[in-house]
Amino acid sequence: MAKLKDRYANALLEISEEKGSLEKDLEQAVIVRNTLERDDVQAFLAHPHVPDSAKHQLFQNAFSDKLAKHIMGFLYLMVRKNREFLIVPALTEYIERTDRLFGRLEAKVVSAKALTEEQIESIRMILTRQINMEVKLKAKIDPDVIGGFYILVDGCIFDCTVRSELNIMREHLKRGIE
């Protein structure tokens, strides 16, 4: 599935580059992804008894006046090939790749309690300096985090949680390392 998702994202990216509409297509891809990733919409698209014409009508009603023809064509192609489940992953991959072309990266910081705007901005600035790209940082609260926070960026995890520190201490004590 990952290879197929990448192929669709690459194809869409190539078309956007050829047409010179990367920024505009990126905005449209975000709108489509955010609309289609809802659980009820995913259930509708994945339902085997919903005809393709109904799915096409959904796209027409939601996006016809907002999207470029090649993005609408992408949606229709995914339905025709019975790959509705790949629409959101392929668009997400397309968005990430396009953002990278513009020198932007998305990261997520997860903490036990809500971080202040100053803390979020401080983390964003540090990440921006470390990876030499503009970082869009999304904050999320997870009560399972004992304390501290962790950051997910570009497939890497920077773990500054109390749980990870306790695990490191436990391993050091098992090995007899101070």
Q: What is the pLDDT of residues 20-77, one digit of tens each?
A: 999 999 999 999 999 999 999 999 999 989 999 999 999 999 998 889 999 999 999 9
Residue type, 129: R
Give the end of a domain, one of 100, 120, 145. 100
pLDDT of residue 151: 92
- Based on the fold, state whether residues 85 and 107 are members of the same structural domain: no
Same domain for 45 and 18 = yes
Do the Cβ atoms of 29 and 98 come closer than 8 Å?
A: yes
**90 shares its domain with 25:** yes
Domain boundaries, position 48: 2-100
Place of tokens 């971080």: 115
Q: Residue 19's domain is classified under what CATH number?
A: 1.10.520.20
Q: Are residues 118 and 77 in the same domain?
A: no
DSSP 85: G
Quote the pLDDT of residue 82.
93
